C-alpha cells in the first residue's frame, strides 16, 4: 500500500458529514483570506504588499496550472485529472510565508491555518497526500522568491 493510499484510507475511515462541512469551509477560506489581505493592502495603499500578492498569486497560479496539465494526475475521487499539485495548499503556504508578522505566535497560527487547508484537501478526497506536500513546497518556494525581490527597485522600473 502506498503512502498516498494509506493517508486517503485514514481520512475516509474518519470522515463524517460535519467534518466534510467544516473542512469545505477551511478549504475555500484560503481564497477568501487571499482576497481579504489583498483588499486590506489596496485600502491601505500599500503598493509593495499589493505587488507581492498580485504578482506572486498570478505566477503561482500559472505554475500550478501548468504542472497540473503536464502531470494529468487523477484526483482520488476520480472527478478530473487535475490533482497534482494542490493549488489551495500552495496558496495557503504562500500566504503564510508572506504574512506580515515577525511574532512567533502569529506565524504559528498562519502556518497552522495552511496545514489545515492541506488537511482539508485530504479530508474532502480531492488530493493525494503527495499533491498536498508538493503544493506546500511550491507555495513556500514562491513566498521565498517573492520576499527576495527588491520591490522598491522593481516598482521604480515599472513606473518608467
Per residue in 114-126, pLDDT (tens digit) is: 999 999 999 999 9
pLDDT, position 30: 93
pLDDT, position 1: 62
Instruction: Classify residue 17: in a domain, yes or no.
Output: no
Query: How confident is the model over 44-88, as pLDDT tens digits?
Result: 888 888 899 999 999 999 999 999 999 999 999 999 999 999 999
Query: How confident is the model over 137-154, as pLDDT tens digits?
Result: 999 999 999 999 998 888
pTM strictly above 0.85: yes
pLDDT, position 153: 86
| Dist CA 76 CA 83 (whole Å) | 8
Instruction: Classify residue 11: in a domain, yes or no.
Output: no
Q: Locate all alpha helices (DSSP H) within 14-103, ordered by sequence.
A: 17-43, 47-71, 87-98
Instruction: Classify residue 73: in a domain, yes or no.
Output: yes
Angle subtended at Cα 100 by Cα 96 and Cα 104, rounded to the nearest 5 degrees: 70
| Dist CA 12 CA 141 (whole Å) | 30
Instruction: Classify residue 138: in a domain, yes or no.
Output: yes
Backbone angles phi, psi at 142, to 5 degrees: -65, -40
- What percent of the chain lies above the pLDDT cut of 90? 74
**Whether residue 5 has pLDDT greater than 80:** yes
Number of domains in the chain: 1
Length of the chain as a residue count? 160
Confidence of residue 133 (pLDDT cuts 50, 70, 90): very high
Mean pLDDT of the residues in the chain = 93
Instruction: Classify residue 107: in a domain, yes or no.
Output: yes
Q: Which of 34, 35, 52, 140 minimizes the C-alpha distance to 90?
A: 140
Q: How far is CA 126 from CA 12, 27, 46, 84, 118, in A?
A: 12, 11, 35, 10, 10
Q: How far is CA 53 from the centre of its chain?
A: 12
Instruction: Classify residue 10: in a domain, yes or no.
Output: no
The residue segments making up the domain with residue 83 are: 25-155
Instruction: Classify residue 120: in a domain, yes or no.
Output: yes
Instruction: Classify residue 20: in a domain, yes or no.
Output: no
Confidence of residue 105 (pLDDT cuts 50, 70, 90): very high
Amino acid at each position: 500500500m502506498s503512502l498516498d493510499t494509506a493517508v486517503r484510507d485514514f481520512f475516509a475511515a474518519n470522515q463524517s458529514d460535519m467534518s466534510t462541512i467544516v473542512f469545505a469551509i477551511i478549504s475555500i477560506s484560503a481564497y477568501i483570506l487571499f482576497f481579504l489581505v489583498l483588499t486590506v493592502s489596496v485600502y491601505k495603499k500599500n503598493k509593495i504588499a499589493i505587488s507581492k500578492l498580485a504578482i506572486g498569486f498570478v505566477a503561482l497560479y500559472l505554475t500550478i496550472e501548468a504542472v497540473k496539465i503536464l502531470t494529468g494526475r487523477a484526483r482520488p475521487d476520480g472527478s478530473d485529472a487535475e490533482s497534482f499539485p494542490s493549488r489551495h495548499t500552495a496558496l495557503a503556504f504562500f500566504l503564510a510565508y508572506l504574512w506580515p508578522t515577525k511574532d512567533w505566535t502569529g506565524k504559528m497560527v498562519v502556518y497552522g491555518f495552511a496545514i489545515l487547508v492541506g488537511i482539508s484537501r485530504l479530508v474532502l478526497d480531492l488530493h493525494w497526500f503527495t499533491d498536498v506536500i508538493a503544493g506546500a513546497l511550491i507555495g513556500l518556494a514562491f513566498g521565498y522568491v517573492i520576499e527576495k525581490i527588491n520591490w522598491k527597485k522593481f516598482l521604480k522600473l515599472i513606473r518608467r
